[in-house]
């Protein structure tokens, strides 16, 4: 029998379910300060915010006004200065839900910021590589420009030397022409002198011959 009782007790314990006491109540709002007065509102739910206008310690009732403007009397024992635990818990849960949503948004923003940081880092590396390439290209262009300037200066110097040589050639041509003219004049004068000397010599010879012939004829 003891074994049967134990088995039945264990079975009942296994089959039993857990239940809780409901803390939500509905308080009637009356037209006066007793249960005999007319009910103005049957279901003022616990946790409802009311404006307390008056309190009667003798009757244990308080005059309150609801959010819609309805006024009536309610037992003071149902009124508390702080929200009920269920509402506080609901507010806390709502706040936790908001915080969790904010947390998820923050995580998404952090993830997006990390992605942007990676993209910026890649872009920075690409820009750095581009900057290095442009720096090398600028250095090459600078060197090429320096070479071009040097070549231009050299060409200018060569043009100046060319112009100087042309001037010297012109001067030499003029001098050569002058020398040639002088040489022609000297040759002409030399030829004329030779002819003149020849004529004088011929004249002298002819006179000697003439005198000789005259002297012979006289004899």
Q: Which residues pair with 22 in a beta bridge?
A: none
Question: Within its chain, how far is the Cα of 206 from the centroid?
Answer: 118
Contact between 73 and 32 (Cβ < 8 Å): yes
Contact between 84 and 47 (Cβ < 8 Å): yes
The pTM score is 0.35
With a cut of 60, say whether residue 21 has pLDDT above it: no
The phi and psi torsions of 14 (rounded to 5 degrees) equal -70, -40
Q: List the chain domain ranges.
A: 26-81
> CATH code for 26-81?
2.30.30.40
- Average pLDDT estimate for 31-59: 89
Instruction: Render pLDDT for 96-137 as a digit per residue (tens, 0 to 9).
Output: 888 989 999 999 999 999 989 998 888 888 898 888 899 988
Which of 112, 142, 121, 44 is CA-nearest to residue 84? 44
Give the Cβ contact number of residue 55 at 10 Å.
13
Which of 104, 40, 101, 102 is CA-nearest to residue 70? 40
- What is the structure's pLDDT at 202? 75
With a cut of 70, say whether residue 15 has pLDDT above it: no
User: How much of the chain, in percent, has pLDDT values that exceed 70?
Assistant: 79
């Amino acid at each position: 029998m003891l074994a049967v009782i134990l088995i039945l007790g264990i079975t009942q314990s296994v089959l039993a379910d857990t239940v809780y006491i409901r803390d939500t109540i509905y308080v009637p709002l009356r037209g006066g300060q007793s249960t005999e007065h007319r009910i103005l509102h049957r279901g003022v739910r616990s946790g409802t915010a009311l404006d307390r206008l008056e309190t009667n310690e003798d009757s244990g009732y308080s005059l309150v006004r609801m959010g819609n403007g309805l006024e009536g009397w309610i037992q003071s024992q149902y009124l508390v200065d702080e929200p009920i635990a269920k509402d506080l818990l609901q507010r806390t849960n709502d706040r936790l839900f908001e915080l969790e949503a904010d947390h998820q948004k923050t995580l998404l923003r952090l993830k997006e910021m990390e992605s942007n940081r990676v993209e910026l880092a890649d872009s920075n590396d690409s820009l750095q590589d581009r900057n290095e390439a442009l720096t090398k290209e600028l250095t090459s262009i600078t060197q090429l420009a320096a070479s071009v300037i040097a070549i231009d200066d050299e060409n200018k110097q060569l043009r100046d030397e060319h112009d100087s040589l042309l001037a010297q050639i012109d001067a030499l041509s003029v001098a050569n022409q002058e020398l040639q003219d002088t040489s022609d004049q000297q040759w002409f004068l030399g030829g004329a002198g030779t002819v003149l000397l020849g004529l004088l010599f011929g004249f002298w010879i002819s006179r000697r011959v003439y005198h000789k012939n005259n002297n012979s004829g006289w004899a």
